[in-house]
């Protein structure tokens, strides 16, 4: 009898165990709170790995979807993708809600900002933190593999054999940022990544503390199959999310050729350092001829002293050279900036505005870029500078930064003012030239100067994505409200900045 009962119990266990996997009832929810208006690669890549391992995965992109309460309540484990500051600030507000709705589900955070903010995230109840290459680690965490729990904070730079991303369950690409064309109209945008990490050590970059100069390639056949599936689903333009598309120059050039050969009507955009654009200027015609509509480049400043402090690897003259080269070749450069740093002066800020006007780049710069303030996160190489250490306050875990103030308080006020102008102009659909004019006037007024008449000789509009490109800004009130979060926070400089994103 005992033997028979034991046998029946064993049979029941085996049936439960098999049904658990064959029916896909092991549920894992992957969440993204912000990914620059793109379908989150940090969801679709691990989703492929987890589904291949037998898990039932629900992907939630909270920039385009409501929080699915039934999915959260049914989840056995929840993982949140934290690729950048904005996403992490939003996630920190979301985690208490997740714990309230499903107190029994362990939570993992993964991505660049997960391991960098491990202590704070653990204080919110996060069980596992994964930085760097996260797919394999996520599968091991999900499985409860032996030894996986020995460290709650893992940074992996392991070379992975990537799988083709699985975009099942996410909103259609047409729901995401689209490409605005100079001649009018738009194109549906797909997105992918051909590499992760970065070879370089820019002092302010959040990639550096995690990858420490390492970058990893996503195999070309995987990238192309991902592109192939998105084109079949309606994508007309591909946005590459690599930190620097030219980190692996051989990999990049082969992808450019293969993409254009297979999809000659498709266009694309990439992000490349000024340093690489100058070093590989012989490849600029290839970018143009293979369908690259524009290149995003983190210029950050036109002040050589600031560029030196940030260890950007380029000078003001390098930037001007590349901008003029692009113009001569008929390519579009989208420079991005961190105009407000501890070293910013009114003279320097006004020089930036004059440079953009003189170089015919007003249309090329999203107005939000002209109000961005330097963020100093945990582990930042900015803290290697004695002058920075002497000016920052203690680390603010909730804001995820070391707060700092400009020696001239009027510049902190101007930063907030520029953000307000950019946000209001975006809501009113102002042309970029009109918004630039308003910022030009506000900057001169803040400096106590009469604003010279602004002459903008823009020959043509430029292609751009409909969602402004910025990854290291405070979350907006609208973003917080979209998560069902009541806004109410202390009025730090960071909070004031966030308030001006409405």
Domains of the chain: residue spans and CATH: 19-156 (3.40.50.280), 172-337 (3.20.20.70), 339-502 (no CATH)
- Percentage of the chain beyond pLDDT 70 is 86
Q: What angle do CA 325, 264, 366 make, to 5 degrees?
A: 45
- Percentage of the chain beyond pLDDT 90 is 83
Show the tokens assigned to 104.
């029994």
CA end-to-end span of the chain? 71
- Whole-angstrom Cα distance, residue 351 to residue 291? 33
Question: Is residue 397 within 8 Å of 120, Cβ to Cβ?
Answer: yes
CA neighbor of 290 nearest in space, from 273, 266, 274: 266
Q: Which one has a higher pLDDT value, 269 or 481?
A: 269
Q: What is the pLDDT of residue 325?
A: 98
pLDDT in tens, 191-208: 999 999 999 999 999 999
For residue 161, the number of C-alpha atoms closer than 13 Å in the C-beta half-sphere is: 0
Q: What is the pLDDT of residue 114?
A: 95
pLDDT at 231 over 70: yes
Most confident residue range from 21-25, 219-223, 463-467: 219-223
pLDDT at 39 over 80: yes
**For the residues 52-70, what does the mean pLDDT come to?**
96
Question: Is residue 140 within 8 Å of 130, Cβ to Cβ?
Answer: no
Q: What is the pLDDT of residue 126?
A: 96
Q: Is 229 exposed, middle or buried (0-12, 13-18, 19+ CB in 10 A)?
A: middle
pLDDT in tens, 279-327: 999 999 999 999 999 999 999 999 999 999 999 999 999 999 999 999 9
**For the residues 217-226, what does the mean pLDDT come to?**
98
**For the residues 450-456, what does the mean pLDDT come to?**
91
pTM of the model: 0.88
Question: Is residue 41 within 8 Å of 192, Cβ to Cβ?
Answer: yes
Q: What is the pLDDT of residue 484?
A: 53
- Whole-angstrom Cα distance, residue 414 to residue 445? 10
Q: What is the pLDDT of residue 467?
A: 86
Local confidence band at 476 (pLDDT 50, 70, 90 cut-offs): low
Local confidence band at 458 (pLDDT 50, 70, 90 cut-offs): low
- Whole-angstrom Cα distance, residue 475 to residue 239? 23
pLDDT at 489 over 90: no
Q: What is the pLDDT of residue 475?
A: 57
CA neighbor of 48 nearest in space, from 70, 30, 63: 30
pLDDT at 70 over 70: yes
Local confidence band at 474 (pLDDT 50, 70, 90 cut-offs): low
Local confidence band at 456 (pLDDT 50, 70, 90 cut-offs): confident
**For the residues 32-40, what does the mean pLDDT come to?**
93
Choice among 48-62, 240-254, 265-279, 466-480 with the minimum mean pLDDT: 466-480
Q: What is the pLDDT of residue 338?
A: 96
pLDDT in tens, 95-114: 999 999 999 999 999 999 99
Q: Is 104 exposed, middle or buried (0-12, 13-18, 19+ CB in 10 A)?
A: exposed
CA distances for 432 relative to 366, 368, 415, 425, 428, angstroms: 7, 10, 18, 8, 11
**216 membership: H or E segment, kind and range:** strand 215-217
DSSP 49: H
Local confidence band at 480 (pLDDT 50, 70, 90 cut-offs): low
Q: What is the pLDDT of residue 452?
A: 95
**For the residues 71-91, what does the mean pLDDT come to?**
95
Q: What DSSP assignment string belongs to 170-209? A: SPPGGGS--EEPTTS-EE-EEEE-SEEE-S---TT-TTHH
Local confidence band at 8 (pLDDT 50, 70, 90 cut-offs): very low
pLDDT in tens, 113-156: 999 999 999 999 999 999 999 999 999 999 986 444 446 899 99
Q: Which one has a higher pLDDT value, 485 or 137?
A: 137
């Amino acid at each position: 009898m005992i033997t028979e009962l034991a046998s029946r119990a064993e049979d029941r266990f085996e049936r439960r165990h098999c049904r658990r996997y064959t029916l896909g009832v092991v549920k894992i929810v992957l969440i993204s709170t912000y990914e620059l208006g793109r379908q989150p690669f940090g969801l679709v890549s691990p989703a492929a790995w987890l589904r291949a391992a037998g898990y039932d995965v629900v992907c939630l992109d909270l920039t385009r979807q409501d929080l699915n309460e039934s999915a959260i309540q049914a989840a056995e484990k929840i993982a949140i993708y934290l690729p950048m500051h904005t996403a992490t600030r939003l996630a920190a507000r979301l985690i208490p809600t997740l714990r309230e709705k499903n107190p029994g589900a362990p939570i993992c955070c993964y991505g660049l900002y997960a391991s960098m903010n491990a202590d704070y995230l653990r204080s919110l109840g996060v069980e596992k933190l994964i930085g760097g290459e996260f797919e394999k680690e996520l599968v091991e965490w999900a499985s409860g593999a032996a030894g996986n729990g020995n460290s709650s904070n893992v940074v992996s730079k392991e070379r992975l054999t990537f799988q083709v991303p699985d975009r099942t369950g996410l909103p259609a690409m047409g729901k995401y940022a689209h490409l605005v064309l100079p001649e009018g109209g738009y194109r549906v945008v797909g997105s992918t990544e051909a590499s992760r990490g970065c070879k370089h050590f820019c002092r302010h970059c959040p990639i550096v503390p995690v990858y420490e100069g390492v970058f990893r390639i996503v195999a070309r056949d995987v990238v192309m199959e991902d592109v192939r599936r998105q084109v079949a689903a309606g994508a007309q333009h591909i946005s590459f999310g690599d930190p620097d598309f030219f980190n692996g120059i051989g990999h990049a050039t082969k992808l450019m050729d293969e993409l254009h050969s297979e999809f000659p009507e498709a266009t694309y955009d990439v992000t490349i350092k000024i340093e690489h654009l100058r070093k590989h200027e012989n490849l600029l015609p290839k970018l143009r001829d293979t369908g690259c509509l524009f290149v995003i480049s983190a210029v950050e400043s036109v002040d050589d002293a600031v560029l030196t402090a940030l260890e950007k690897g380029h000078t003001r003259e390098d930037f001007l050279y590349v901008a003029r080269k692009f113009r001569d070749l008929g390519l579009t450069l989208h420079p991005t900036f961190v105009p407000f740093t501890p070293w910013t002066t009114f003279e320097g800020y006004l020089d930036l505005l004059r440079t953009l006007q003189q170089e015919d780049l007003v249309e090329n710069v999203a107005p939000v870029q002209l109000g961005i303030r330097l963020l100093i996160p945990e582990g930042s190489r900015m803290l290697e500078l004695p002058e920075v250490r002497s000016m920052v306050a203690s680390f603010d875990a909730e804001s995820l930064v070391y707060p700092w103030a400009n020696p001239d308080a009027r510049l902190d006020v101007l930063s907030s003012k520029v953000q307000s102008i950019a946000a209001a102009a975006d809501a009113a659909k102002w042309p970029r030239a009109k918004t630039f004019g308003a910022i030009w006037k506000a900057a001169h007024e803040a400096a106590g100067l009469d604003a010279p008449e602004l002459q903008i000789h823009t020959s043509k509009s430029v292609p751009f994505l409909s969602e402004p490109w910025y990854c290291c800004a405070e979350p907006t009130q609208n973003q917080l409200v979209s998560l069902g979060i009541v806004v109410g926070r202390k009025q730090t400089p960071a909070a004031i900045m966030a308030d001006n994103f409405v």
